[in-house]
């Protein structure tokens, strides 16, 4: 039998004490991959991971390292970047701190894997993508929502031709984020301060961009109306602060082929849906409603024929007209699935489409959303390319 070869990859994980860094990237992805003995490539090579934790608090890092049996951690990012034992730099910092760290990592020749948004401005996002291209380093940007079971079911419906011609997409995302006075807020306070890189547009529009472009087609224009509905909040220390960033955005997007998408994003809405995010897709041959996990469909040939009559209470049970889409497969945690794909692509040297240029399109989309709201007009999106 051929000898199985093993390749260990050292990965710098910066920002592991944060919400995303700790739960999704360290615990659910990298440690899960480590603890299952790595991943196996099609050629039989086993790829294992060795994490190096980086952060600002030595004490927090030491606790995390001890808790999870990790031997490497440091507060000195530049020293980690200078060490060839670490091949990949992964970034889960607050958005504001990201670009400068990624710039240093590219200069050190590391492959890059990062949370979105990749930068605070399109100019900077494109600069990072160009720097990485010039340095010849592989890059990857988190596209986690595409891996949600509900959206994977939607992908299957699209691929099967279920919809016929897709006409429109309607998305509702959001929930009530407590102000922090009488119940602690369930999101970090920087999310509500523009000066700290906060705002629901820069947080959520990059997601909507890759969801729309990967499922339906390129986004051609953006119209958005933003609002800061809750203007006073209380931070992690119970201190009152002024919310300077928008906490809701109501957007309409034109997609190639004439599809119209409308997505509301809000941290000031009370949930009356099955899940925290839900999309309805209407097509000539059928419609679907999908969430994080669930998906239901209504084909053309089982569509009721409502007639508008304000004088008669409508006894029809519209909920009952939908058919559940079965799960049919086991879905991995989306962050982990994408990590496995990125690592596989890194080792095999194949093209990776969710790269820093894709990330820059997400930043472009968000920037256009903010500009649209400020100027009260629709903004066309230019195709982006690198030199
Ligand atoms: N993919 C997703 O679904 C998703 C969800 C939420 C957040 N995010 C993104 O993940 C990133 C982190 O968000 P979070 O909610 O985990 O935030 P967080 O505040 O919980 O964590 C941020 C991390 O950055 C570190 N940090 C803060 N300021 C820093 C500075 N000045 N220099 C260096 N490090 C600093 C913190 O110590 C912490 O480790 C953001 O860019 C956000 O947009 C992605």
What is the tens place of the pLDDT at every residue in 122-181? 999 999 999 999 999 999 999 999 999 999 999 999 999 999 999 999 999 999 999 999
3-state secondary structure at position 326: coil
Is the C-beta atom of 355 inside 6 A of ligand 1?
Answer: no
Backbone angles phi, psi at 250, to 5 degrees: -115, 110
Q: Is the pTM of this model over 0.85?
A: yes
Q: What is the pLDDT of residues 356-379, one digit of tens each?
A: 999 999 999 999 999 999 999 999
| pLDDT tens column, 187-206 | 999 999 999 999 999 999 99
pLDDT bucket at 211, cuts 50 / 70 / 90:
very high
pLDDT beyond 70 at 11: yes
Q: What is the number of helices (H) and of strands (E) in the chain?
A: 10, 18
What distance in angstroms lies between residue 94's CA and the mean position of ligand 1's atoms? 3
Q: State the pLDDT confidence band at 3, using cuts at 50, 70 and 90.
A: low
Q: Ligand 1 centre and the CA of 95: distance in Å?
A: 6
Which residue's alpha carbon is nearest to atom 6 within ligand 1? 20
Q: What is the pLDDT of the chain when averaged over all its residues? A: 97
**Closest ligand 1 atom to the C-alpha of 335?**
1
Nearest ligand 1 atom to the CA of 98 is: 41
How confident is the model at residue 43, as a pLDDT? 87
Q: Ligand 1 centre and the CA of 17: distance in Å?
A: 9
Question: With left for phi above 0 and alpha for psi between -120 and 50, is residue 64 left, alpha or beta?
Answer: alpha
Strand ranges (DSSP E) for the chain? 6-14, 39-40, 46-54, 72-74, 88-91, 111-114, 139-141, 166-174, 219-227, 232-234, 240-242, 248-255, 259-266, 277-283, 286-290, 295-299, 323-324, 379-380
Q: Does the CB atom of residue 91 touch ligand 1 within 6 A?
A: no
Give distance in angstroms: CA of 18 to centre of ligand 1. 5
Q: Is the pLDDT of residue 16 over 80?
A: yes
Q: Which tops the pLDDT comparison, 62 or 331?
A: 62
Question: Hey, how many other C-beta atoms are within 10 angstroms of the C-beta on 185?
Answer: 18
Residue 216 to residue 146: CA distance in whole angstroms = 12
Angle between helices 149-159 and 200-215 (to 10 degrees): 30
What lies within 8 Å, CB to CB, of 84 at 6+ separation is none
Q: What is the mean pLDDT of residues 85-110?
A: 97
Question: How confident is the model at residue 98, as a pLDDT?
Answer: 97
At 321 the pLDDT is 97
């Amino acid at each position: 039998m051929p000898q199985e070869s093993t390749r260990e990859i050292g990965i710098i994980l910066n920002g592991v004490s944060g919400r995303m860094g700790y739960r999704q990237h360290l615990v659910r992805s990298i440690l899960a991959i480590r603890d299952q003995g790595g991943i196996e490539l099609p050629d039989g090579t086993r790829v294992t991971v060795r994490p190096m934790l980086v952060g600002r608090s030595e004490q927090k890092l030491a606790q995390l390292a001890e808790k999870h049996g990790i031997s490497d951690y440091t507060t000195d990012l530049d020293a980690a970047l200078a060490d060839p034992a670490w091949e990949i730099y992964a970034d889960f910092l607050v958005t504001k701190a990201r670009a400068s760290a990624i710039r240093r990592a590219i200069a050190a020749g590391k492959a890059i894997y990062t949370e979105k948004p990749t930068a605070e401005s399109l100019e900077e996002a494109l600069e990072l993508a160009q720097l990485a291209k010039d340095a010849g380093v592989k890059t990857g940007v988190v596209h986690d929502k595409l891996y949600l079971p509900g959206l994977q079911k939607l992908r299957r419906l699209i691929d099967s031709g279920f919809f016929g011609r897709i006409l429109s997409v309607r998305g509702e995302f959001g929930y009530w984020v407590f102000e922090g006075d009488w119940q602690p807020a369930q999101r970090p306070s920087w999310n509500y301060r523009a000066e700290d890189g906060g705002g629901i547009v820069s947080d959520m529009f990059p997601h909507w961009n890759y969801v729309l472009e990967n499922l339906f087609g390129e986004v051609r224009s953006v119209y958005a109306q933003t609002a800061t509905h809750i203007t006073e909040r209380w931070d992690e220390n119970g201190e009152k602060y002024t919310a300077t960033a928008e906490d809701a955005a109501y957007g309409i997007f034109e997609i190639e082929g004439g599809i119209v998408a409308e997505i509301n994003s809000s941290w000031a809405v009370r949930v009356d849906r099955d899940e925290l995010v839900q999309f309805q897709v209407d097509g000539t041959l059928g419609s679907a409603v999908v969430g994080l996990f669930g998906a239901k469909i209504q084909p053309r040939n089982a569509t009721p024929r409502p007639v508008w009559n304000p004088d008669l209470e409508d006894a029809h049970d519209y909920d009952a007209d939908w058919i559940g889409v079965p799960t049919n497969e086991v879905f991995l945690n989306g962050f982990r699935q994408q990590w496995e794909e990125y690592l596989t692509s890194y080792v095999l040297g194949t093209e990776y489409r969710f790269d820093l240029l894709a990330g820059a399109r997400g930043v472009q989309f968000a920037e256009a959303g903010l500009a649209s709201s400020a100027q009260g007009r629709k903004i066309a999106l230019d195709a982006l390319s690198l030199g």
